Amino acid sequence: MVLVTGGAGFIGSHLCRRLIEAGHEVLCVDNFFTGERANVEGLFGNTRFELIRHDVTFPLYVEVDEIYNLACPASPVHYQFDPVQTTKVSVHGAINLLGLAKRVKARILQASTSEVYGDPGVHPQPESYWGHVNPIGPRACYDEGKRCAETLFFDYHRQHALPIKVARIFNTYGPYMRPDDGRVVSNFIVQALRGEPITLYGDGQQTRSFCYVSDLVEGLVRLMESPPEVTGPINLGNPVEFTMRELAELVLQITGSKSAMVFRPLPQDDPRQRQPDIRLAKATLDWAPTVPLEEGLKPTIAYFDALLAGRLTAV
C-alpha cells in the first residue's frame, strides 16, 4: 500500500493515477484545502484506490509500505492565506508522517521545493547551495517550513536509520492545476482564455524553468524506487529557462488570444531567477525531462479551456 498525502492536489492526483497504473494499492489523503475530489474521482471505481479526508497536522494511523508526502499548499495565494497553518502543515505534518514511517517501517519521500533556495545567489541552483531565504518575509511560511521539513527528514534518517527521499521540485505545470492558484502558468492561461490582460510583475524579465507534470511524476517515482543510500535532496525540474514575458507570448500564441500585457510591481522576495541543476538526477536516477514547454502547454490549455467551459469529465 502506498500513501500519498495531498493526493487530491495537482501533482498528487497525477501521482495517484501513475501508481494505480503501475499496479499499486493507493491510499490518497487530503484535507481539500487546495485539493479537489474531482481530480481523483475517475479512480473511485478502482478497488486499489482509497480516499481519506484528513489533515496531516494530526497523526494518521494506517498500515502502508511507502509514503509520498505532498501535503502543503504550493502557490503563494494559498500558502499566504493562512501562513501559520502553512508552517504547521510542513513541520507538524512532517513530524507526524515521519513518526508513521518509523512505526510501520515505510520508505518516505518528502516533496520539497526549489523555494528552499530563496532568491538565489547561485545560478543554476545545485543541491549543494544552501539558499538565500528571508526568514521573516511573507513567503517564509512556505520556504522555511519546507527547509525545516528537510531538516526533520535528515535527522530521522541519522537518528533512526529511517529510509528517506527528498525531492526539490521546481515549477511544475499541467492539467489539474487550479485556475485560482496564482501561479504564473495558470494565471497566464486563464487570463488569455478569458480575454483579460496578462499580468506580468516587474519588467517580465525574471525567469523560471517549467517542468511538465508527467516528467515530474516520473522523477518522483524513480527517486522512491532508488537504492536506500540515495536520500537526496535531488532537484527535479526542467533546466530550460524562460522569462515571464516569453511565457506570456507563448501562451498568447497557442491560445490565439488578443489579450494585452500589463505590468505590476514585483512582489516582495519574488525570486529573479530559478533554474535547476539536474546533473545529480541524471546521474543517480537516469532522469531528465522530455516534454518541451510548448508541447506541455497544449494539453494544459486544453484542460483549462474545458474547465472554464464546464466540459470536464473525470479521468
Q: Residues 239, 278: contact at Cβ < 8 Å?
A: yes
User: What type of residue sits at position 135?
Assistant: P
User: What type of residue sits at position 79?
Assistant: Y
Angle at CA 224, nearest 5°, toward 118 and 102?
A: 90
Per-residue pLDDT at 158: 98
Per-residue pLDDT at 27: 98
Per-residue pLDDT at 167: 98
Per-residue pLDDT at 9: 97
For residue 164, the cross-strand partners are 108
CATH fit for domain 2-172+211-238+270-290, picks 3.40.50.300, 3.40.190.10, 1.10.10.10, 3.40.50.720: 3.40.50.720
Please determine, for residue 231, whether its predicted confidence score (pLDDT) is greater than 60: yes
Per-residue pLDDT at 309: 86
Please state at what angle helix 184-194 crosses helix 293-309, rounded to 10 degrees: 60
The predicted model gives 40-56 an average pLDDT of 97
Please determine, for residue 289, whether its predicted confidence score (pLDDT) is greater than 80: yes
**Beta-carbon contacts of residue 79 (< 8 Å; ≥ 6 apart):** 72, 73, 86, 139, 141, 142
C-alpha cell of residue 17:
493515477
User: Does residue 124 have a cis peptide bond before it, meaning omega lies within 30 degrees of 0?
Assistant: yes
Per-residue pLDDT at 264: 87
Hey, which of 11-20, 71-80, 272-281 has the most confident mean pLDDT?
11-20
Per-residue pLDDT at 295: 97
- Domain coordinates in residue numbering, the chain: 2-172+211-238+270-290
Per-residue pLDDT at 202: 86
Tell me, what DSSP letter sits at residue 204? Answer: S
For residue 167, the cross-strand partners are 111, 234
Q: Identify the CA nearest to 273 among candidates 140, 127, 119, 168.
A: 119
**How far apart, in Å, do the first and last CA atoms of the chain sit?**
22
The per-residue pLDDT for range 243-285, each reduced to its tens digit, is 999 999 999 999 999 999 999 887 776 677 889 999 999 999 9
Residue 142 bears catalytic tag: yes
Instruction: Give the integer Cα–Cα distance in Å for 240 and 293.
Output: 9
Please determine, for residue 195, whether its predicted confidence score (pLDDT) is greater than 90: yes
Per-residue pLDDT at 128: 96
The per-residue pLDDT for range 100-147, each reduced to its tens digit, is 999 999 999 999 999 999 988 999 999 999 999 999 999 999 999 999
Using a pLDDT cut of 70, give the percent of the chain over it: 98
User: What type of residue sits at position 239?
Assistant: P
Q: Residues 200, 187: contact at Cβ < 8 Å?
A: no
Active-site residue, from 68, 142, 173, 303: 142
Residues 268, 272, 274, 275, Cα dihedral to 10°: -170
The residue among 266 and 187 whose pLDDT is bigger is 187
C-alpha cell of residue 275:
533554474
Instruction: Give the integer Cα–Cα distance in Å for 296 and 233.
Output: 26
Name the pLDDT band for 313 (thresholds 50, 70, 90). Answer: low
The predicted model gives 198-205 an average pLDDT of 90
Residues 23, 95, 227, 174, Cα dihedral to 10°: 50
Confidence (pTM): 0.94
Per-residue pLDDT at 172: 97
Q: Identify the three-state secondary structure at position 29.
A: strand
Using a pLDDT cut of 90, give the percent of the chain over it: 86
The predicted model gives 282-306 an average pLDDT of 97
Per-residue pLDDT at 166: 98
C-alpha cell of residue 108:
518516505
Tell me, what DSSP letter sits at residue 7? Answer: T
The predicted model gives 174-199 an average pLDDT of 94
The predicted model gives 5-15 an average pLDDT of 98
The predicted model gives 75-90 an average pLDDT of 89
Q: Identify the three-state secondary structure at position 40.
A: coil
Per-residue pLDDT at 269: 63
- The length of the chain is 315
